[in-house]
Structure 1
Amino acid sequence: MHMMIFGAGYSGKAIGALAASRGITVTGTTRSAEKAQALEKRGIRPALFDGETLSEALLETLLTVTHLVQSIAPGASGDPLIRLLGPAGLRKVMPQLQWVSYLSTVGVYGDHDGAWVDEETAINPVSQRSLERVEAEAAWQSLSAQEDLPLAILRLSGIYGPGRNTFVNFDKGTARRLVKKDQVFNRIRVEDIATATVFLAEPRLGGIFNVTDDEPCPPQDVVTEAARLLGVEPPPEQPFETAELTPMARSFYGENKRVSNAKIKALGFAFRFPEYRASLQDLWDMRTRKITAQ
């Protein structure tokens, strides 16, 4: 088994490290040689990819790939791999390919006024970036069907984990409790993204799966819990309507829904971090161990 991860960033590195720890050969792309060493430390073979061209070295690597994970976000011109591989066909450049995964977002569902959604819910993207994800999902569905390949689309909620969490925001002085009436979000630990991907990859399962936690909640509750663990007063609540936010940050609050993960759990998958309190406690324990070891 040879897993190829296009876009070995925060989630891609976690997926690759877990797969490598299970004895799977893993290659991950990066844009710079400087980042290659970080991949090697996680057991991932680095490959340079600029998003525009496939080098001879990368094409040679693709000849032995059996499992493809596409983690690169699309842009206005569409999915970069579809542009490069679509006309030729996946199997022409990856003759041993057996399974494909595309990392998408729960943003494709749009706004549902806090109601529950699942994989059968009609998609209705609000933002441009979510619309681009919808188009990329459709392109991968068409291409994988054309080549008779199982495709797993993982719709991810807000990603956090080691190095990217509320404690880091407190350290930076950017933690805020923004309050918008009845607003809730789902979130997902990066380690659960990794285990879900490998869970689906090993038996080559296809379909659309929400990879998200069990407990959508108001975002200010997470900040309050992190403050409790830190032993500090939480920042004052700020009304969302008057808060200074970037256009992108404000756009996230334009979508309000509760996302169900029942489908992937029905297959036997168990989330390690199904709710934010235990997850924050785990991150706090990691933080404490790191400080103690210094």
Structure 2
Amino acid sequence: MCIRDRRWYADEIAHGSPNLQWIGYLSTVGVYGDHDGDWVNEDSETRPVSERSRARVAAEDTWRKVADTRGVPLAILRLSGIYGPGRNGFVNLARGTAKRLVKPGQVFNRIHVDDIAGALALLAGQRLGGVFNVSDDEPAPPQDVVAHAAELAGVAPPPETGFDEAELSPMARSFYGENKRVSNAKIKAAGYAFRYPTYREGLAGLVGDYKQEKGG
């Protein structure tokens, strides 16, 4: 959605929707930018690096103004890297596009799509406002996640490749320019229990689809 469209929708909600009681906006942990692998929470400084993350910060501010205008609570859900059916390590293994890129100290944060829905339902149901990180318990090196997916699938993992030698698109390379560990303590304190607390449970719940497609 472009900025003009976002402002149009925000304006419509600000001046319409007479029964509006709560607003939820799905943002990204990308707004935190790079924190050199340290833990971040909802009070951490936002240091957006990419244009897409800067746009998310602007969108968060827009929705805060809308919520203030309407006098309703606003929940900003900052999502980690999303995976789930059709978007996971097994898909990449099947396509032959899986890579085990190694950049020392690099971790990524993840969230299963079902847990996004669950967190959203909790916050909407209780009409809670504030900023909430929606990320699983275990930030992990990407090469470890690929290796675990390969183990579950019963296939050999792709070889490890050093980050500096890897052929990546500018966007893919930009993700490795940010390193942080995202805390989910606040959403847990609000009462949410993760269905998939780490990538291990998440991949275990997805491997059946992979094997079924492979006929195994």
TM-score bracket, normalised by the shorter chain, equals over 0.9
Aligned partner letter, 2:7: I
Equivalent residue, structure 2, for 1:81: 6
Equivalent residue, structure 1, for 2:151: 228
Equivalent residues of 2:14, 2:67 under 8 A apart: no
Answer yes or no: is 1:263 the counterpart of 2:190: no
Shift in Å, 1:288:
3.8
Aligned residues: 216
RMSD of Structure 2 on Structure 1 (CA): 1.7
What are the residue-to-residue correspondences of 1:1-294 with 2, within 5 Å?
Answer: 74-75=1-2, 78=3, 80-86=5-11, 90=13, 92-288=15-211
Shift in Å, 1:286:
3.8
Report the CA distance shift for 1:124/1:238 in structure 2 as closer, same or farther (over 3 A). same
1:7-59 CA distances to partner (integer Å, 9 max, x unpaired)?
xxxxxxxxxxxxxxxxxxxxxxxxxxxxxxxxxxxxxxxxxxxxxxxxxxxxx
| Amino-acid identity (%) | 59
Aligned partner letter, 1:80: D
Taking the aligned partners of 2:28 and 2:195, their CA distance within structure 1 comes to 20
TM-score, scaled relative to structure 1: 0.70
Which SS does the other structure have where 1:159 is aligned? Answer: strand
**Off by >3 Å, runs of 4+ in structure 1:** 286-292
Shift in Å, 1:230:
1.6
1:250-285 CA distances to partner (integer Å, 9 max, x unpaired)?
100000000000001001110100101121111113
Higher RCO (C-alpha 8 Å, min separation 6): 2
Unaligned runs of 5+ in 1: 1-73
Taking the aligned partners of 2:133 and 2:118, their CA distance within structure 1 comes to 13
Shift in Å, 1:84:
4.1
Report the CA distance shift for 1:235/1:290 in structure 2 as closer, same or farther (over 3 A). closer
Report the CA distance shift for 1:232/1:290 in structure 2 as closer, same or farther (over 3 A). closer
Report the CA distance shift for 1:214/1:117 in structure 2 as closer, same or farther (over 3 A). same
Report the CA distance shift for 1:241/1:79 in structure 2 as closer, same or farther (over 3 A). farther
Taking the aligned partners of 1:211 and 1:171, their CA distance within structure 2 comes to 28
1:188-231 CA distances to partner (integer Å, 9 max, x unpaired)?
00010001101111121111000000000100000000111122
Taking the aligned partners of 2:159 and 2:126, their CA distance within structure 1 comes to 48
Equivalent residues of 1:157, 1:212 under 8 A apart: yes
Report the CA distance shift for 1:128/1:85 in structure 2 as closer, same or farther (over 3 A). closer
Taking the aligned partners of 2:75 and 2:4, their CA distance within structure 1 comes to 16
Taking the aligned partners of 1:99 and 1:267, their CA distance within structure 2 comes to 16
Please tell me whether Structure 1 or Structure 2 has the larger radius of gyration of its CA atoms.
1
